[in-house]
Amino acid sequence: MKILVPVKRVVDHNVKIRVKADGSGVDLSNAKMSMNPFDEIAVEQAIRMKEAGDASEVIVVSVGPAQAQDVLRTALAMGADRAILVEAEGRVEPLAVAKILQCVAQTEEAGLVVLGKQAIDDDCNQTGQMLAALLGWSQATFASRIELAGGRALVTREIDGGLQRIEVTLPAVVTADLRLNEPRYASLPNIMKAKKKPLVQQTAGELGVDIAPRLTVVRVEEPASRATGIKVASVAELVDRLRTEAAVI
């Protein structure tokens, strides 16, 4: 079975985001970029499945600019077998990404797609669900544990009330949550080997997918700065301020 793992190139989670002066978007100039953390967890899970004998090949795919090759090489250094880059400039919305991944999954005849539950740049949490709908496959979201057996996947999901265990038939789309695993560090020998692993580049046009945005970003603003706290002399004063100033009671 082949496992397909989509990965996204995003601003590194340790970088403080800056909004452009004109409010048109996030300033990416000189910003450190890296693999989306949830996608990194998905790559680790796919590699572990291959090491356990549940998969024959791990294929990573990214939709984005030519610079996205660096996150694909990172995934290859972690242990993925080969990579596919679908070049697309500018903002690509989740539905367009899902359509591209649909084409790739069908072409590669993947039996399982594992991807991060969301990207930390837009927090859309839509691509996995849309992909499952387009493919007509089973889906399991927010996975904190995945077990494969007999053509089925037993997935433990994180929900508001705790944990939920579901069983889905393969092929399926599974989105990874934070506690699924801890990604490995790529060793220097594997980083060198990754340079020789195959990385195929193609365009969205070659796949017949229109990636023109359907939504328009009107304005991007930083969240309001948090006001400083105050000390009160008594409970009575606290209640009075909550009622008259904060208007929460």
Give the 3-state secondary structure of 95-147: HHHHHHHHHHHHHHCCCEEEEECCCCCCCCCCHHHHHHHHHCCEEEEEEEEEE
- pLDDT number for residue 54: 92
Question: Could you identify the residue written with the tokens 């599974």?
Answer: 174
Query: Backbone phi, then psi, for 92, in 5-degree steps?
Result: -110, 120
- Residue-wise pLDDT for 101-158, tens only, equals 999 999 999 999 999 999 998 899 999 999 999 999 999 999 999 999 888 999 999 8
C-alpha distances in Å from residue 224, one per residue of 175, 219, 227: 32, 15, 9
Least-confidence region, from 16-30, 32-46, 81-95: 16-30
- pLDDT number for residue 26: 84
Is residue 112 within 8 A of residue 132, CB to CB? The reply is: no
- Residue-wise pLDDT for 206-227, tens only, equals 999 999 888 888 888 888 888 7
- pLDDT number for residue 199: 95
Best CA proximity match to 178, nearest among 9, 62, 42, 77: 42
Q: Which domain holds residue 224?
A: 2-244
- Residue-wise pLDDT for 171-202, tens only, equals 999 999 999 999 999 889 999 999 999 999 99
Distance separating alpha carbons of residues 21 and 211, to the nearest angstrom: 27
Name 203's Cβ contacts closer than 8 Å, sequence gap at least 6.
Answer: 86, 87, 88
In a domain, 174, yes or no: yes
Q: Is the pLDDT of residue 15 over 90?
A: no
In a domain, 30, yes or no: yes
- Residue-wise pLDDT for 19-38, tens only, equals 888 888 888 888 888 999 99
Distance separating alpha carbons of residues 123 and 139, to the nearest angstrom: 19
Average pLDDT over residues 67-85: 95
Average pLDDT over residues 164-172: 95
Q: Considering its fold, how many domains does the chain have in total? A: 1
In a domain, 249, yes or no: no
Q: Is 136 exposed, middle or buried (0-12, 13-18, 19+ CB in 10 A)?
A: exposed
Q: Facing residues of 39 across strands? A: none
- pLDDT number for residue 225: 82
Q: Within 10 Å of residue 211's Cβ, how many Cβ atoms?
A: 21
Q: Which of 93-97, 219-223, 239-243 has the highest mean pLDDT?
A: 93-97
In a domain, 136, yes or no: yes
In a domain, 222, yes or no: yes
- pLDDT number for residue 220: 87
As a whole number of Å, the end-to-end CA separation of the chain is: 58
Q: Facing residues of 155 across strands? A: 146, 166
- pLDDT number for residue 103: 95
Q: For the domain that residue 163 is a member of, what is the CATH number?
A: 3.40.50.620
- pLDDT number for residue 16: 86
Distance separating alpha carbons of residues 65 and 5, to the nearest angstrom: 18
Query: Backbone phi, then psi, for 74, in 5-degree steps?
Result: -65, -45
Q: Facing residues of 84 across strands? A: 61, 200
Average pLDDT over residues 160-177: 93
Q: Is the pLDDT of residue 63 over 90?
A: yes
